[in-house]
Every structure is written in C-alpha cells, then in structure tokens.
Structure 1
Amino acid sequence: MNALTVNLQSVLELTDEQFFNLCQANRDLRFERTATGELIIMPPTGGETGNRNAGLTAQVWIWNEQNKLGIAFDSSTGFKLPNGADRSPDASWIKLERWDALTEQEKQKFPPICPDFVVELLSPSDSLKVAQEKMREYIDNGMRLGWLINRKSRQVEIYRQGREVEVLESPVTLSGEDVLQGFILKIEAIW
C-alpha cells in the first residue's frame, strides 16, 4: 500500500493542535504534513521494514545511551520543521543543547525543531524521488547529516549541509562523522 496525499486546504485547515490530535486518534497510521498543508497518510510498515527500522533505531539509541550527547527518536516521532511541515523520519537524533532549549510543552507534542541527524529507510512501497525530496527538505530546515538507505539497490545517499549528495554502493558501515561523533552504523544487518 502506498502513501496517500490529501489536499484539505479548500475545505479545512488543520491547526497544529488539531493535527496532533488527529495523529493521536489514529495511531495505526502515520501522518505527515507538507509545508503547504497537504496531509500525507502512510500505512504501517511491513514486517521486514519494521524489523530493519527497529535495528537501525536500536543502534542509534545504544550509541546515544553510551555517549549522552543528545536524544534519539524512533519512527513514530513527529517534528514540526521550520518551514511548517510535520515530518516523521525513520530514526533521528537531536544534539542535547538544542533539545534542552525546547520547553516541556514543545517536547510533549511534535517538537518544533529539525533533527540534526535523520535516517530514512526506503520501504518497498516508497518512491525514491519523494524520499529524496524529503531529505532535501530536512537539509533546507537545518539537518546536518542524513542517510537515505535503499535496501533494494543496496545504496546509501548521504546528505550533508553545503555539500553534494554522496552515493555509496553496498557499504558495510556508515559513520556518524562530526554530528554523531564515534557512531558507526553496522549496515549489514539493515540490508
């Protein structure tokens, strides 16, 4: 099942609070919202993709627990980006100083911040073009490092501030570089 995009603008404009409540009332679906207000309805992932997402998130979380440099998030976390879009990356991380600058109320809902680090794992029903556009949106909103992992082609696209996208063929590991210092993703388990 593919994601469905619905333009409600001519009928209804959801406030941030209404969008949050819609997401809470429909926990079996994942919602995102574009900067122009279009609602994206995404079905739950399949078993293989869900398992790979869990492994990916676990590696980020374990590294973060050992280093205490920030906060790690799973795929069910929504973020309000500076451009107004609401996005939920498959795994993400925010530097502790940036997270601590948010109010407790902002932390409880969809934090109004773009993660420093984002991973998107392409599922069989995802469009590569749409995922690449999403990664560019993250970069435009302040993401410092991002990985778009395409299991089918065994490619990883690396997104960095101020640099061209780098494409790796069948890497064994990925480095968190200067964003997640010392983090090495063992990608063999993700393929």
Structure 2
Amino acid sequence: MQRVVLNLERVNLSDQQFHNLCQANQNLQLERNAKGELIIMPPVGGRSGNREASLISLLWLWNNQTKVGQVFSSSTIFRLPNGGDRSPDAAWIRLDRWESLTPEQQEGFP
C-alpha cells in the first residue's frame, strides 16, 4: 500500500465547503474541530464496531417505543455550538428540536 501524507494544518473552509468536501470524500470519516482543523477518523475495530452497533440498537429500540426523538448513526455529522463538526458513535435528538430544523439543515449537518 502506498503511503499518503496529508497536511492537515488549519484550513478556513466555510460550512458549505466542508459539507462539499465530505460529500466528495464519502469514503473518509471527516470531522472538524472548533479551531477549524480537519480530522480524519480511522475505522474502528471489530469490538468497538460491535459495541457501537449494540448502543445504536438499544437507543433505536427505546426511541421506537417512546417516539420522542430521532436516532442517528456514526455516519452523521453534527454542527456543534463551539463551531466543530463531529460524528458521535450514536446520537439522539428530541423530536421538537429535529422538527425545528429546516429541510436543508436536516439534509446537511444538523
């Protein structure tokens, strides 16, 4: 395998540019911290992936019974109040919060 070296010093990408970068590189798990630095998250191993799947399943089952929100996988990027764009292992948003987002925000990074 050929080695690839990336310079990930701070880049000034707009929110739309970061979204476009993620869409153009869907094979990479890209995130951005509050400083605007790009982060490439490595794939997880089997045990970690199994725990992640179990957590998402339990969260989904609970939400399916309560109907009080929306559940998201680790493939979803969330825009954080500190300016970062991160992908948690599993996420849940209250239904009223989700419904307050525009269709564009729901399609993008909520």
Superposition TM-score tier, normalisation by shorter sequence: 0.7 to 0.9
| Cα distance change on mapping 1:23 and 1:108 into 2, 3 Å | same
Q: Take 2:83 and 2:93, find their aligned partners in 1: how far apart are those partners?
A: 18
Superposed, which structure 2 residues align to 1:55-134 within 5 Å?
55-111=54-110
Which stretches of structure 1, 4 residues or longer, exceed 4 Å deviation after superposition?
none
5, 8, 11: which one aligns with 2:10: 8
User: Where does structure 1 lack aligned partners over 5 or more consecutive residues?
Assistant: 112-191
Superposed, which structure 2 residues align to 1:19-34 within 5 Å?
19-34=18-33
Q: Take 1:95 and 1:78, find their aligned partners in 2: how far apart are those partners?
A: 16
RMSD (Å) for aligned C-alpha atoms: 1.6
Instruction: Check whether the contact 2:10–2:35 (CA below 8 A) recurs between aligned residues.
Output: no
TM-score between both structures, scaled by the size of structure 1: 0.52
Q: Take 1:17 and 1:84, find their aligned partners in 2: how far apart are those partners?
A: 13
Q: Take 2:31 and 2:66, find their aligned partners in 1: how far apart are those partners?
A: 30
Q: Give the Å deviation of 1:5.
A: 8.7
Instruction: Check whether the contact 2:79–2:85 (CA below 8 A) recurs between aligned residues.
Output: yes
Q: Take 2:25 and 2:43, find their aligned partners in 1: how far apart are those partners?
A: 11
Deviation string, structure 1 residues 11-48 (Cα, Å, up to 9, x no partner): xx111111112112222221111111011111111222
Q: Take 2:23 and 2:76, find their aligned partners in 1: how far apart are those partners?
A: 11
Q: Take 2:35 and 2:92, find their aligned partners in 1: how far apart are those partners?
A: 25
Local SS of the residue matching 2:27: coil
Aligned to 1:36: 35
Instruction: Check whether the contact 2:33–2:39 (CA below 8 A) recurs between aligned residues.
Output: yes
TM-score between both structures, scaled by the size of structure 2: 0.87
Q: Take 2:24 and 2:53, find their aligned partners in 1: how far apart are those partners?
A: 23
User: Where does structure 2 lack aligned partners over 5 or more consecutive residues?
Assistant: 1-5
Normalized per residue, the structure richer in helix is 2
Q: How many residues matched?
A: 105
Instruction: Check whether the contact 1:71–1:93 (CA below 8 A) recurs between aligned residues.
Output: yes
